[in-house]
Structure 1
Amino acid sequence: MHSLFAAEEREAKLSRLGDPLESLSQHVDFAALAGALDRALPRPHRYFGGRPAYPTELIVRLLVIQQLFNLSDEQLEYQALDRSSFQRFLGLKTSGKVPDRNTVWTFREKLVQAGLGASLFEEVNRQLQTHGYLAR
């Protein structure tokens, strides 16, 4: 049976069943995390030419998914393209542009070199604990 509202019905059901990524979005301020990272680790501006950078918040969300689900860079790229729950969490349901494995790797390396990698995940855990959650 075909439905014009199949995607909306599926998402509503996922929400009712308790999508853990939806809870994560509600309890972690990813925009604030991205803002803090942008201040600590500025990214190149568009006026230098080249392809525009992906939003920092998107990359942070990808890194959190990667950590939570123990995914390699290759699997992260694949799952972000394939899994609708990941696309919903990442805000990519209607986008064909998903960061590739090299983009994620490069961003993570810059975080590590700046000594910010561990603090990112510590802050995510701190925010979750504030709401009574424990990330696994």
Structure 2
Amino acid sequence: MKQAGFFDIEERLARLSGLGDHLEAFFRTVDCPDLEQTLAYSVGSKSGRPPFDPVLMFKILVIQTLNNLSDERTAYLINDRLSFMRFLDLGLSDRVPDATGLARQAVKAVAQGSSCALDTDVHEGEAAE
């Protein structure tokens, strides 16, 4: 195996975009100018680890729904797939919620609801061209 180059990740992500990254196309069709405010929830207890960003948790729910994934499989695939990391705005060294954290945080993120509107031309995660 050859040593990773400085631009290898960027080149791989560009290649994924060229092949038609479904998550990238999906998020371009979401009209949520106030997504962060809509999904905001109170932190609650000041002890323990800080909660994950509600927008991150919402995006994880999108991934789970589009791919019909369990919490365990979702946590694994977020760590494994560059396309998932890009969609979630995560770097290789960023903290990723485990399966228990996904279940707990997802309930909080969804409890607030969302007023996001999807483009009507979207079908199975692909934007109509």
Q: Same fold (TM over 0.5)?
A: yes
Structure 2: which 5+ runs fail to align? Answer: none
Distance 1:106 1:58, change over 3 A: same
Aligned partner of 1:127 among 118, 124, 127: 118
Q: Cα distance 1:70–1:7, how it changes in 2: closer, same or farther (>3 A)?
A: same
The DSSP-based 3-state class of the residue aligned with 1:54 is coil
Per the normalisation by structure 2, the TM-score is: 0.78
AA matched with 1:17:
L
Amino acid at match of 1:54: F
Report the number of matched residues: 123
In the TM superposition, residue 29 of structure 1 has moved relative to its aligned partner by: 4.5
Rounded Cα–Cα distance in structure 1 between residues aligned with 2:106 and 2:94: 22
Q: Which residue of 1 aligns with 2:78?
A: 80
Q: Equivalent residue for 1:28?
A: 30
Q: When the two structures are superposed, what TM-score results if normalisation uses the length of structure 1?
A: 0.75
Equivalent AA in structure 1 for residue 119 of structure 2: L
Equivalent positions of 1:98-117 (< 5 A) are 98-110=96-108, 114=111
Give the deviation of 1:63 after TM superposition: 0.5
Q: Could you tell me how far apart the structure 2 residues matched to 1:111 and 1:31 are?
A: 17
Q: 1:15 to 1:111 in 2, by over 3 A?
A: closer
Give the structure 2 partner of residue 16 of structure 1. Answer: 18
Partner secondary structure for residue 36 of structure 1 = helix
Give the one of 62, 73, 76 matched to 1:64.
62
Report the equivalent of 1:91: 89
Structure with the bigger percentage of helix = 1
After superposition, the C-alpha distances for 1:77-107 in whole angstroms (9 at most, x for unaligned) are 1111111111111111233310111121113
Query: Any runs of at least 4 consecutive aligned residues in structure 1 with deviations exceeding 4 A, and if so which?
Result: none
Partner of 1:91, secondary structure, is: coil
Distance 1:30 1:12 in 2: 25
What whole-Å deviation, never above 9, does each CA across 1:56-94 have from its counterpart, x for those lacking one?
A: 010000001000000001101111111111111111123
* Residue type at the aligned position of 1:127: L
